[in-house]
Amino acid sequence: MSQCFFGVQGITTFQGPLSVSSTPASSPNVTVDSPAPRITGVPQKHQQHYRITLVPGIGIGVILLAVLLQLVLVVLIRRKSRELKNADFATQNPENTFHQSQSWRCPEGQSPMFQRYSYKETLKATDNFSTVIGKGGFGTVYKAQFSDGSIAAVKRMDKVSRQAEEEFCREMELLARLHHRHLVTLKGFCIERKERFLVYEYMANGSLKDHLHSSAREALSWQTRLQIAMDVANALEYLHFFCNPPLCHRDIKSSNILLDEHFVAKLADFGLAHASRTGTISFEAVNTDIRGTPGYMDPEYVVTQELTEKSDIYSYGVLLLELVTGRRAIQDNKNLVEWAQMYLSSGVISPEMVDPRIRDLVDIDQLHLVVGIVQWCTHKEGKQRPSIRQVLRMLSERLDPGNGSFGEGMEDGEGGFYPRSSKCGVHRNELIPHSGDMRSLHSSSSTTRSYCSRSMLLESGQAQSPPETL
C-alpha cells in the first residue's frame, strides 16, 4: 500500500526488519543488502529535531512579544497619568503652568474674531514655508496668501518650550483685547501637534530695522522718521494709559516696529508684555525675570530687576537715537547710548552722529529737539525720565504748527512744567514747520477719551524737565 500511495521503493523498511522470503514477493528488484532503506531514514530524524526546536521557539517569541506589549502599555499609562496631573496642576496654577491645550482655549473663548487655521491650510498659503520675511526670538515669519485671496504674515514658533508656549499664550490673550491703529492686528492662529502659528495682518514695508540697517533698502526721510517716532509714542500711550490694566511692552526695538504700505508704524510682538497688577495708571515696581533685548534694556531694570513703565521709556529713547544715527543698538561692541555720549557731552550735536544717508537733509532745530528727548528718556534713574504722554506732547506741540495757540508755557498735565524756550535748541515761541511728508505730525491716537474713565487721571509723580545741555 505504501508503494501504491507514494511510489517509493523500500518504504516498507520503516516498519522494521523484513524476512528474506518476503522480500522477493513484495519487491523482486530489492535485495536485503540494498542501502535504500537506510538512506530514507535520515530526513525523518531531522524533521523530528526541527519540530522539537520550533515549538519552544514560537512559545518564547510569543512570551517576549507579550512582555514588550506590556511594557509599552505601562509607558503609555504613565505618560497619560502625567499629562492628567499636569492638566490638573495647570488648572490650579494657571500662572505657572501652560498646558498645550490651554494656549488656544483662553483667547478663543474671549475673542471670536480670531480664525483658526489648519496646518494644511497654512502650509499651502505659505507655499511650503518658502517666503521668509523676517526672523526673531519667537520664530520665523512667512508671507502667506490664503484661498480667499487675503495676504497675511504667519509667525511660526521654532520649537515648543515652556517659555515659547508662555509667550504664545500671552500674545494671543493680549491682542484679543488690544485695539489701536498703531498696534499690529492678530487675525488668527494655528495649533496642531507641536506646531504653533500666529497669523497677523501683512505689513508691506517690513520692519523699521530693515530700513535703518539694510543697504538694499532706500533710506527713510527725516520727516518719515519723525512720524514713526510719533506713531510708536501713540502706541505706548495707549498701553500705558488706556489699557486696563496698564501694560508694559518690555521689548521696544526697531525689529518690533512694522511699517505698512504708507509707512504707518505699528508695534508688534507682545510676548514679553507685563501688566500692572494693581490696575492703577501708575506702575508699581514688580520683581520679574530679566527679559528683553541687549542695547534696549533699561540698565536700572537690569540691576534692580524691578519693572516699571519707565523701562519702556528708556527703550523708546534708544529707538529715537537709532532713528537719528542709523546705527544699531549695539554696534562694534559699543552700546548706542554710550557711543552717543561722546558727541553729546560737549553740549553741541556733531553732524557725525546723524545717519550719513540723510545728514544733509535734517532740520537742525528738530534734531536738537529729538536729541534732547533722547537724553531725557535715557536718564539712568527711571524717576527722572518723562512719561510717554509728556514725550508725545512735546513732539506734537513742537513739530505740529497747529498747536501754536498753546501759548508761552505749557503745563504738561502730570505735574511738570516746561516753558517754550530755548531748551533742546528750540527758541522762544518758535514752532518748527513741518514739510516733506504727506502725513501731518500730530497725535494719531485712535483711542477716545471716553474709552476709559481713568484715562484723564494724572500720574502722581512729578516729571522733570528735559536736559539743559542742549
pLDDT, tens digit, 9 for 90 and up, residues 205-216? 999 999 999 988
Confirm whether residue 85 is marked as ligand binding.
no
Q: What is the amino acid identity at position 458?
A: L
114-158 pLDDT per residue, tens: 889 999 999 999 999 999 998 876 789 999 999 999 999 999 988
Q: Percent of the chain, pLDDT > 90?
A: 41
**Catalytic (active site) residue 251:** yes
Q: State the Cα–Cα distance between residues 277 and 300, nearest whole angstrom.
A: 20
> What is the DSSP-derived secondary structure letter of residue 461?
S
Hey, what domains does the chain have and what are their CATH numbers? 102-201 (3.30.200.20), 208-456 (1.10.510.10)
- Average pLDDT of the residues in 178-204: 91
Rounded Cα distance between 377 and 67, Å, is: 68
Intra-chain end-to-end CA distance of the chain, in Å: 126
> Is-contact 424 377, C-beta < 8 A?
no
Set 148, 210, 251, 298: catalytic member: 251
- What mean pLDDT, rounded, does the chain reach? 74
Give residue 24's pLDDT. Answer: 44
- Cα–Cα dist 369/372, whole Å: 5
Q: Quick one: cell of 426?
A: 528750540
